[in-house]
A and B are shown apart, each in its own frame.
Chain A
């Protein structure tokens, strides 16, 4: 099995060629403003390094932090309108009501509540007022908003209202992109609506980014399928992924953690991934990131969907440091590290300069930092070490000592020892662990359907089998498949003891 994994971070674009478990070629370049050229450069370098080894590569798997960064930094977000089918219920808590004000102001392209929705048993709450949906769609079109999130009460049970609303919207506002909340989230109207609205605000960006990636792969001359990595360590075909950018939230740290497990052969550990802008700390269990319990906030917005449990702090290679080292971050020069860091000819003191001055890293022009005082270097490093140690400690859930896997381009900033940590593990290719993780991303299989007149255990067994069959069809090796999600709802309104069951499984790609 040969695959190329690429991770496009805020600062660096990393790429690797993996053959089985071995890293055959690897490269680290700066992320570029236009995205494409950075990916092109990385791919070209991999092709050059691999020589004839490039033959047989049939998949390029790209992980990107673009969508998370867009929400966190409030950049490149489109306006999105909300149509919620819920009246006469839920009137006081309108869409966007629990968003940070400045983010809502940017994204909110209008919030419309209409009559309709479902009861817990699938019956209609009240008949959907189709006129109101049409009016909302017309108003949204008039406002020039082209992305709409539709949510309806109990839509995870039955998508009837959301589907019908989407038809009406298509009719009234043909250019609009519609995100249905039922395609993204779970029970929990407000959080599901939030995820749908975020997805809607990212649709335009997702379309641009996916096209840029496709163009870069094509330009490389490889005959390979483009996959985008998701936040559960699996991949989706590019054409699917562009519809659901929110599923890429936090896929970068997920890839880093999965890559760290492969590179070190350690499956239970803390992981600290120091990138250019942030350090992400997570916990590996059986080679997978620990999942976040419950609601996860993204850029201050409550969401309820599958996400890794992470703590991000503003420490990275690009972190800006004041000349006396009294202030470390939170600002970073980001992808301009290659121009702005002192060692790269710039005029900003960054964590990378400190690392070079301390002899932890050998890049750029050392003569440019020869005047840095030792006291400044020591103090900056001490602050960085203290913040990283504290973050790792906060994410640890038990008292016993565990190893810490150090990964990312800024891994040299991680101290050699920490309280509660048995061993800080540094390995070859640690700087590109995220790209390794992207390359080994797994194939998933899912099923979501209604079963009747059957015992719950039989239903779940059948649903598991159906999900496994789907994963095998998509190219997963059957002996590696693990069940990662099982959810079932009783549908008492249907005759014959109906149960809706949803199962998701993942497995390794079959080696060709």
Chain B
């Protein structure tokens, strides 16, 4: 895993700077593959919190005690709602407090459910407010729309208890669920009911579970990816090239958005974007389907890229990620693929997050021919 190279030997704790937050926001948005929500509002909150003197400590997951109690946090819902209901650290922290009350103990650390999109910054908000350190890991290595689409679900770890809070005075605890699928169904219904956005605290994990089944060093990976883009911009270099280099990606298509179809259904944003080729892709069309995140890309009607490979749409000029909720007619975008975390390439992984899990009747074929990150 590329993130390992970033670790300084013997350094298990690192106080993140506000510059790290700027880079993290860019990197997380790219790894969000269109979903997870634009990190901008969370970044604004982080700037404010740093100005007020708060800070965040990032810890090496391998330094966790085996019995450490780790909160796994995320906002769930449709990203479009997040553009209208702005992120608020108090609101993000509420389900962690609910869970601590339910468990009758305090958390030792907090980690992201998904590094991709705004959720990559969710533990930062909570950490800045509460002082609980953030673990350099997540359970997706990207963003995915559903609860069972995680490394911990693929490992069949316990899916409960679960806490969720609403912006109004509604608290929801799901003490037990038969499976990750049931947890997803029940929590999704509750989430939709309270406006398709909710702050959540997933099933707590032990230090041992994080070390064994977490996707490690994804926070520092996202920070590094963001730094790469910022550096390319400063050098007037092509930021897309820089991303491809830094994340071992593949460019698939370059063009202009000519149609976007969106449906907000069952708490998700589903739909597709149609891209007309420009430059060497002139004459070709790419259709990218999404369920919050980009799931499958068809070039001239043929599926050429699919989950769990990361499908990223980046602004062709700035290299900034383009979210499924903000794609617009006329935008110029480059489609690229980044390698999937290894755990998702196993038969069990593909069952959870392969194209069939998103309703596409196609066999998974990686653009990287089975290579992993």
Whether A188 pairs with B261 at a CB distance below 8 angstroms is no
Whether A89 pairs with B85 at a CB distance below 8 angstroms is yes
Q: How far is the CB of B34 from chain A (nearest CB, A)?
A: 14
From A93, A98, A397, give the contact of B332 (CB < 8 A): A397
Q: Return chain B residues, CB-CB under 8 Å to A490.
A: 262-265
From B90, B278, B330, give the contact of A92 (CB < 8 A): B90
Q: Return chain A residues, CB-CB under 8 Å to B81.
A: 119-120
From B87, B279, B326, give the contact of A294 (CB < 8 A): B326
Which candidate, B40-48, B55-63, B287-295, is the interface stretch facing chain A?
B40-48
Asked if B100 is at the interface of the complex by the 8 Å CB criterion, the answer is no
Whether A397 pairs with B316 at a CB distance below 8 angstroms is yes
From A92, A293, A456, A492, give the contact of B86 (CB < 8 A): A92
Asked if A131 is at the interface of the complex by the 8 Å CB criterion, the answer is no
Asked if A30 is at the interface of the complex by the 8 Å CB criterion, the answer is no
Asked if B317 is at the interface of the complex by the 8 Å CB criterion, the answer is yes
Roughly how many angstroms separate A485 CA and B325 CA in the complex, as a whole number? 17
Interface centre among B85, B87, B264, B326 (most CB of A within 10 A): B85
Roughly how many angstroms separate A330 CA and B317 CA in the complex, as a whole number? 25
Asked if A90 is at the interface of the complex by the 8 Å CB criterion, the answer is yes
Interface size class of chain A, counting residues whose CB lies under 8 Å from the partner chain: 35 or more
For B125, give the chain A residue with the smallest CB separation.
A92
Asked if A11 is at the interface of the complex by the 8 Å CB criterion, the answer is no
Number of A-B contacts (CB under 8 A): 97
Whether B44 pairs with A187 at a CB distance below 8 angstroms is no
Whether B85 pairs with A91 at a CB distance below 8 angstroms is no
Q: How far is the CB of B160 from chain A (nearest CB, A)?
A: 28
Whether B195 pairs with A119 at a CB distance below 8 angstroms is yes
Q: How far is the CB of A65 from chain B (nearest CB, A)?
A: 24
Asked if B331 is at the interface of the complex by the 8 Å CB criterion, the answer is yes
Q: Return chain B residues, CB-CB under 8 Å to A91.
A: 88, 90
Q: Return chain A residues, CB-CB under 8 Å to B328.
A: 293-294
Whether B78 pairs with A120 at a CB distance below 8 angstroms is yes
Asked if A360 is at the interface of the complex by the 8 Å CB criterion, the answer is no
Asked if B17 is at the interface of the complex by the 8 Å CB criterion, the answer is no
Whether B315 pairs with A293 at a CB distance below 8 angstroms is yes
Whether A120 pairs with B88 at a CB distance below 8 angstroms is no
Residues of A within 8 A of B (CB): 86, 88-93, 97-98, 117, 119-121, 125-126, 153-154, 187-190, 291, 293-294, 394, 397-398, 456, 485-490, 492
20 A-B residue pairs with Cβ-Cβ distance under 8 Å, sorted by A, are: A86-B86, A88-B168, A89-B167, A90-B85, A93-B88, A97-B44, A120-B81, A125-B195, A126-B168, A153-B85, A190-B41, A293-B330, A294-B322, A394-B236, A397-B316, A487-B329, A490-B264, A490-B265, A492-B264, A492-B265
Residues of B within 8 A of A (CB): 41, 44-45, 48, 78, 80-81, 83-91, 167-168, 195-196, 236, 259, 261-265, 278-279, 315-318, 320, 322, 325-326, 328-332
